[in-house]
Structure 1
Amino acid sequence: MILVTGGLGMIGAHTARALHDLGHEVVVTAHRRTGVPSFLAGRVVVESLDVTDRDAVLSLADRHDITDIVHLAGTIPDEDPVDFFRRDTIGLLNALDAARTWGVRRFAAASSLGVYIGRSEIPWHEGLDLPSTALPHLIVAFKKAVEPLTTHSLAGSGVQPIVLRIGSIWGPLFDPCSPFEGIVTYISTVLRGEQPPPVHADDGGDCCYAPDAGRAIALLMTAPNLRHDTYNVSGGRPVTNGEIGAALEALVPGLQLDLRPGRQHGPGTDPYLDIGRLTADTGFTPTFDIAKAVADYLAWRADNPR
């Protein structure tokens, strides 16, 4: 059985679904979220617990034979950055403690494409040295710290670490009010019958639909052999505002978006993640192009608020 902490969040739920579809039993943890999305109903075991409670985490082994862990649980910073770092570090360390205690096969932890900020080379790939630079958000700062905490904690334990440098993921279960992802906000404005603000057609960047991201993580957890401990998880190509707009206009009758020509800040290329290492070791390629993803998301939102 594979444990997914934070398994009712967007990426966690799609990872759990993909693991189930690959034939694995899955247990997910949830703390504040209680609603199980329809695509997981009856397919996973849900354990309500706070990952900052070490005893509660370790007690999972009393009820389940856990062979692998995907640690995706996390919180949103409030006004106290120290409290945020404390909470999420304790949760990570408890999950790592469980991995070592139970002797699981693999332990995956969520990092972020934000760790590459400061590198001018595009696309961003795992062979790049991570720069020492100011980071734009507390979450990115924590994710950068996750990487050495994970690999060093598992050194010599027999547990294989997997650092997931997760890209710009969007799709079912994403909070439409979140400031961290523009596609969902843009589409949600259209769904409310409002006109989105103007955007430049050639601007864009890294992009991956949530079911594809979940499947990529599931493949990393179940591949017979992995040659690395760090993998980019995303769609492998940039997506432009023009592509998103064209997909929406093709699906929403009468919709005319304000897509301005070119790029807002002149010639250049927006950053995106190279997924060659992921594809080579797992065979992963995205199932959803942007048109298919937008169509799937609109169908989902017809019956779901997020």
Structure 2
Amino acid sequence: MAVLITGGAGYIGSHMALALRDAGEAAVVLDDLSTGSRDAVPAGVPLVVGDVGDEALVLRTLAAHQIDAVAHFAGRIIAPESITDPLGYYAANTGKTRVLLGSLVAANVKRFIFSSTAAVYGLAPVTPTPESAPLDPASPYGASKMMSERVLRDVSVAHGMSFVALRYFNVAGADPQMRTGQRAAGAANLITVATRAALGLNQGLDIFGTDLPTPDGTGVRDYIHVSDLADAHVAALRHLRAGGGSLTLNCGYGWGYSVRDVVAAVRRVSGSDFPVREKPARPGDPHVSIADATRIREALGWRPARADLDLIVGDALRWEQLWWSGAERRPDMAGRRAR
């Protein structure tokens, strides 16, 4: 039996593929490569190029590889972008998740791990935020994930599917062995953008929102190392394989850092300074986002191994140095710097 990883050629999905391979699990990646990279897929892991919304392709893949569980990462993830393209986000995130779940029901695949988000909680949730907090997404991105969670719950009841939905907080860092990391030139997460600024790959850093109701006026986030996140998915798989029931869990550490804290950490770890420009807050961005991570530790026995900001920044910085040192990749980044 094997695990199908949708979006497995992307940033988080490729770390999941590595984690499964390291755990001795068979995995198969399904990715349309619209944002993912072939070389992100670990050696020995089959890659099927295609769309999760292609029901016939999904059914063939499930049968050909004897899939018994699916980890669903494929989708669109930029909250501010979703405000200007809501239909695209609802189609990619909710619509295609519905199609994928229909394929799994038809193939009698009963285990599903869903990539959700803390954006379902909205701009100003109680902090730290428990899974029981009201859902009030402030962007179509968050709303599309909230709707997908509801579809998943209904499918679970109707068809006996067991699932774990993991609500990610802010994912950052790279594989400590430097086997994979963030490859996208246009990645928008703060730690990636800041480390690229420190390396001179970006022309400085924009801070969005400096007068927010937080201690230093900038947004506060719960940053989780991507390898710890992948380990949480492996723990979720083991839970489901052991006959565990469906769960919706936060995936964070339980403490946060401001944007200015992150800038200081990147400067400290890199030993480099870089210009910072202050800009107005972006619509759809929460002021504070910190997980109550009690439940995931209790339910899955998950114990993060890299819960340190400087460690996260250090891994991200080493990856950026490694990845963008390739001559064939420099034109892509140079083109972005010119815009």
The counterpart of 1:213, out of the listed 223, 229, 233, is: 229
Distance 1:97 1:151, change over 3 A: same
**Which residue of 1 is the match for residue 182 of structure 2?**
173
Distance 1:213 1:5, change over 3 A: same
Task: Give how far 1:136 is off.
Answer: 3.3
Superposition pairs of residues 49-88 of structure 1, within 5 angstroms: 49-75=50-76, 81-88=86-93
Distance 1:45 1:70, change over 3 A: same
Distance 1:185 1:176, change over 3 A: farther
Q: Which protein has the bigger helix share?
A: 2
Distance 2:147 2:258 in 1: 31
Structure 1: gaps spanning 5 or more residues: 261-268
Count of matched residue pairs: 293
Corresponding residue SS for 1:47: strand
Q: Does 1:292 align with 2:311?
A: yes
**Which residue of 1 is the match for residue 328 of structure 2?**
none
The counterpart of 1:238, out of the listed 256, 263, 273, is: 256
Task: Give how far 1:67 is off.
Answer: 1.0
Q: Which one is further off, 2-11 or 113-122?
A: 113-122
Task: Give how far 1:83 is off.
Answer: 4.5
* C-alpha distance after superposition, 1:269-301 (max 9, x if no partner): 933111111111222222221111111111111
Task: Give how far 1:167 is off.
Answer: 1.3
Distance 1:62 1:225, change over 3 A: closer
Distance 1:61 1:254 in 2: 48
The counterpart of 2:238, out of the listed 209, 222, 229, is: 222
Task: Give how far 1:220 is off.
Answer: 0.9
1:167–1:234 contact (8 Å) kept in structure 2 = yes
Distance 2:133 2:272 in 1: 45
Task: Give how far 1:203 is off.
Answer: 5.1
Structure 2: gaps spanning 5 or more residues: 174-180, 211-215, 279-286, 325-332, 334-339
Q: Does 1:157 align with 2:159?
A: yes
**Which residue of 1 is the match for residue 30 of structure 2?**
29
Task: Give how far 1:155 is off.
Answer: 1.2
Task: Give how far 1:246 is off.
Answer: 4.5
The counterpart of 1:187, out of the listed 186, 189, 195, is: 195
Corresponding residue SS for 1:70: strand
Distance 1:290 1:299, change over 3 A: same
Distance 2:276 2:253 in 1: 26
Corresponding residue SS for 1:277: helix
Q: Does 1:273 align with 2:291?
A: yes
Distance 1:250 1:91, change over 3 A: same
C-alpha RMSD over aligned residues: 3.0
Letter in 1 for 2:319: W
Corresponding residue SS for 1:101: helix
**Which residue of 1 is the match for residue 220 of structure 2?**
204
Task: Give how far 1:255 is off.
Answer: 3.5
Q: Does 1:12 align with 2:13?
A: yes
Distance 1:61 1:119, change over 3 A: same
The counterpart of 2:271, out of the listed 241, 244, 253, is: 253
Letter in 2 for 1:204: V
Distance 1:270 1:84 in 2: 23
**Which residue of 2 is the match for residue 101 of structure 1?**
106
The counterpart of 1:282, out of the listed 285, 288, 300, is: 300
Distance 1:130 1:202, change over 3 A: closer
Distance 1:84 1:202 in 2: 27
* Identity level (%): 23
1:201–1:259 contact (8 Å) kept in structure 2 = no
Q: Which one is further off, 237-246 or 198-207?
A: 198-207
